[in-house]
Structure 1
Amino acid sequence: MDNSSVFPRPSGAAVTAWPISLFGAVMGLSGLALAWRLAARHEGAPGWIGDALAMLAWLVFGMLVVLQARRVLHESDVWMAELRHPVTGSFLGTFWISLLLLPMLLPSPWLLMARALWVTGAFGMTAFAWFSVQRWIGARQELVHATPAWIIPVVGLLDIPLAYPLLGVPAWHESMLFALAVGLFFAVPLFALVFSRLVFQESLPPVLQPTLLILVAPFAVGFSAYVAVMGQVDAFARALFYLTLFVLAVVLGRLPVMARKQPFQLSWWAVSFPLAASAAAALRFADAMPSPPSRFIAMGLLAFATVVIVALLLRTLKGVVRGETLIAAAAKA
Structure 2
Amino acid sequence: PARPRGRPAPAGTRLLGQSWRRPAGPRAGPEPGSGGLPEGVEYIPTRKKGKNPMKPVGVAWYSLYARTRLGYLFYQRQVKKARERYPHGHSAPQPCCFPGVKILPIPVLSNNYSYLVIDTGSGRAAVIDPSDPVAVQAAIEEEGVMLEAIFCTHKHWDHSGGNAALRQRHSSCKVYGSALDAIPELTKEGLHGEVGVWGYWGGGADSAPLCPVQPACGQGEGGPFGGPPCLFSGDLLFLAGCGRLFEGSPETMLASLDVAVGLGEDTLLWPGHEYALECLTFASLLELDNPALEQKLQWATQQRQEKRSTCPSTLGEEQTYNPFLRTHRPELQAALGLRGGGGEHPDAFRARVLKEVRRRKDLYKAT
Same-fold call, TM > 0.5? no
Larger radius of gyration: 2
TM-score by length of 1: 0.32
Which protein has greater RCO, CA pairs closer than 8 Å, 6+ apart?
A: 1
TM-score by length of 2: 0.30
Higher strand proportion, which one? 2
